[in-house]
Structures are given as structure tokens and as C-alpha cells.
Amino acid sequence: MDVDELRRLPPLAGVSETGLARLLTRAAELEAEEGQVLALQDDPGAGMFILCDGTVSVELRSGSLELGPGDFFGELALLVDDGARVARVRATTPVRCLSIPRADFLALVETEPSFALHMLRELARRLTEARAAV
């Protein structure tokens, strides 16, 4: 993965060169096969994921949410001290994603306004959609 590929991911599009360089040294590329579980509900959150390729199903008690390239998951558990995963996330196709450790996620939120704003907008959209489905 290089800076250009990171910048093509919507959550990272406006991140500074310094922020992207940090991610290149700290984040890991992860691949998963169809059916593989990437996160389990109630597990501690150690990082967040941004999908590069493939799709996942976020399985909540109230239903499921399908995510694809450019989408992210795992962030909620990182925003609260000792936070736990709120859903099971399973690959519905072969997946390639960027795994960002908690400390680096929090550094991005604190130092990269475009990243933080992207997260807030997407979380608000998801909450609005969830409320409309009830």
C-alpha cells in the first residue's frame, strides 16, 4: 500500500502528508476470506478498519449493515475508554482492508480535521438510517 492508495480511501482523502506517512508505518494491510469474522461483538476494540476491496456484513441485534470499499468499521469501540465491539463483522466476499491501531486512530481524530469530520458525517448517516428503519 502506498500514499496514493491511502488517499483514494474516502476517510483518508483529506489527511495530511504527515498523517499518511504515519499510517504507512503503523497501519497494516489485512486480507480475509469470504465468511471470515473480522470482529466479534463484546470483544475489546484494538483498532479500526477501512475497506479497500470486498464487502462485509456488520451484524447487529437489530439487523445488519453491508459495507464496501471506502467504508469503515470498528471505530465506535475506540472512541470510549475500554470500549467493546458493538457488532460482529463478517466478510461476505474476499476482503482487503487497512487496520489502524487505536493510538493511531485517536491521533488522526485529534490532528486531522477532515478525517474526524468524515467519521462524524458517516456515523450520523448510519444513525439516521438506523432510526428510520425502526
Whether the pLDDT of residue 45 is over 70: the answer is yes
Q: H or E segment at 18?
A: helix 17-26
pLDDT in tens, 80-107: 888 899 999 999 999 999 999 999 999 9
Tell me the pLDDT tens digit for each residue of 22-38: 999 999 999 999 999 99
Q: For the chain, which domains are there?
A: 3-133 (2.60.120.10)
Q: What is the pLDDT of residue 133?
A: 67
pTM of the predicted protein model: 0.93
| Phi, psi (deg, nearest 5) at residue 62 | -90, -5
